[in-house]
Amino acid sequence: MDNLIISNIRQRPIRSLVSVIGVALGVALVMLFTGLAHGMSNDLQRRSQNVRAEIMFTRPGTMDNLTSSTLNLSTKYVERLQAVDGVEAAVPIGLYVFQGGAGFGFEQLEGVDWPVFSKMNNIQLEDGRAPEAADEVVIDYIKAHNENRKVGDPITLLGNKPYRIVGIFSPESGSRTKMTLSAMQDLLEAPGKCTYILVKAKEGVSEQALAERIDKELPGNKVQFTRDVFTSIESRIPFLGVFLKVLVGLAAVVSALVVMLAMYTTITERTREIGILKAMGASRGYIIGVIEKEAILISALGLVLGFAVAMLGGLLIHRRYNLIFEYSWSWAAAAAAIGLLGGAIGALYPAVRAANLDAVSALSYE
């Protein structure tokens, strides 16, 4: 195409490519980080939706019931909780968090008394049976589908410990892999202990009132509402939102700097051509427009590449590490704005500088 902007980009393919990659990196970073945060958060929320208990009872000092690996709560509290007026059921859960099989991210493993746990949360076994022996686990249908596993398959957990899948349950609820609580107690050498107890209120009983009653009757423990615990990761991890915004800002700065550098060297190289444009009567606006259009075209190419890298990267990371990426339109729009605006702003200074060049000096530039 015989167009000044496109021909300029094609004239220096390596520099143009580096600029495009620079913009793409910023866009891909924004997409991957925000996609990961959303994906993991939404995944957690989806799984928590099927936890029917309203209250979570733990020992004080338990840092976070979703990432805790300690069994420090006596299961004797189950009986005492069941004795509290308004409690329909109390189910002990052991939670162990370990490094993911691919060495990246983490996985959760729950120890449960299957009959009471499944009854409380209305969980069904789609295939197989409940875990009984110490080396037996059940997994949810999502994990079975994603990892192409079925009943009878071996599975390695906690590093290199071999287990066997004996059942597949649905819907997803809490951790995707569950064993018996007694197996977990043996594993962690914590007999008679659990991480927390899920408490379900009787129908018509106020959960607020029940929580106050439990706190009064079993003082010194921590009584939380499950809706507060299983909220989004973004609101649970302090400053995650700020981190994401800083990341977005940095991506914008990187894009702007890359484009600015590329356009700055372009202007220096094309000083004489800018002089010719001026001699031909091109206004400042026209010259700024030419340079800005070139920068925006480079940014647009970077944007496309960045989205492609994010999609492909997310897919590959998901396959390798089982991390979940969910891209939102709002963040995609933000990434697009960053790529385009970053490029446009980055090119502004070189463009204005070019527009202000002295025509006679520019024409005699060697």
Site string for another protein, 332-361 (x = CB under 8 A): ---------------------------xx-
Rule CB under 8 A: say whether 282 interacts with another protein. yes
Cβ proximity to another protein: between 17 and 188 the closer is 17
Q: How far is the CB of 269 from another protein (least distance, A)?
A: 11
Please state the closest distance from residue 98 (CB atom) to another protein, in A. 59
Write down the least CB distance from residue 3 to another protein, Å.
Answer: 7
Q: Which stretch binds another protein (CB under 8 A): 132-140, 189-197, 232-240, 274-282?
A: 274-282
Figure out which of the listed residues 273, 294, 296, 348 binds another protein, where binding follows CB under 8 A: 273
Binder among 2, 79, 189, 203 for another protein (CB under 8 A): 2
**Interstrand relation of 196-201 and 55-58 (parallel, antiparallel or unpaired):** antiparallel
* Residue listed under structure tokens 């099989």: 101
**How do beta strands 136-140 and 196-201 pair?**
unpaired
- Ordered alpha helix ranges (H), 111-239: 114-121, 141-146, 181-187, 207-217, 226-229, 233-236
Asked if residues 132 and 125 have their Cβ atoms less than 8 Å apart, the reply is no
Residue (of 113, 97, 108, 132) closest to 48 by Cα position: 108
Binder of another protein out of 40, 211, 277, 347 (CB under 8 A): 277
Which residues lie below 8 Å from residue 131, measured CB to CB, with a gap of 6+? 114, 137, 138, 166, 167, 178, 179, 180, 183
15 binds another protein (CB under 8 A): no
Strand 161-170 and strand 124-128: the pairing is: antiparallel
In the list 47, 200, 278, 293, the residue contacting another protein (rule: CB under 8 A) is 278
**Taking CB under 8 A as the rule, does residue 14 contact another protein?**
no
Can you read off the two tokens belonging to residue 208? 């607020």
Per CB under 8 A, does 315 bind another protein? no
* Binding span for another protein by CB under 8 A among 80-88, 116-124, 225-233, 283-291: 283-291
| Structure-token pair, residue 243 | 């981190």
Q: Is 280 in the site for another protein (CB under 8 A)?
A: yes
Of the candidates 83, 133, 276, 315, which one interacts with another protein according to CB under 8 A? 276
What is the rounded CA–CA span in Å between residue 363 and residue 125?
Answer: 80
| Residue 268 engages another protein in binding (rule: CB under 8 A) | no
283 near another protein (CB under 8 A): yes
Q: Does 250 bind another protein (CB under 8 A)?
A: no
Beta strands in 28-186 (DSSP E): 55-58, 73-74, 87-99, 106-112, 124-128, 136-140, 154-157, 161-170, 177-180
- Nearest approach, Cβ of residue 285 and another protein (Å): 9
């609101």: which residue's tokens? 235
How many CB atoms sit inside 10 A of residue 53's CB?
A: 23
Taking CB under 8 A as the binding criterion, the range among 113-121, 137-145, 201-209, 269-277 that sits at the site for another protein is 269-277
Binding site for another protein (CB under 8 A): 2-4, 7-8, 10-11, 272-273, 275-284, 286, 359-360, 363
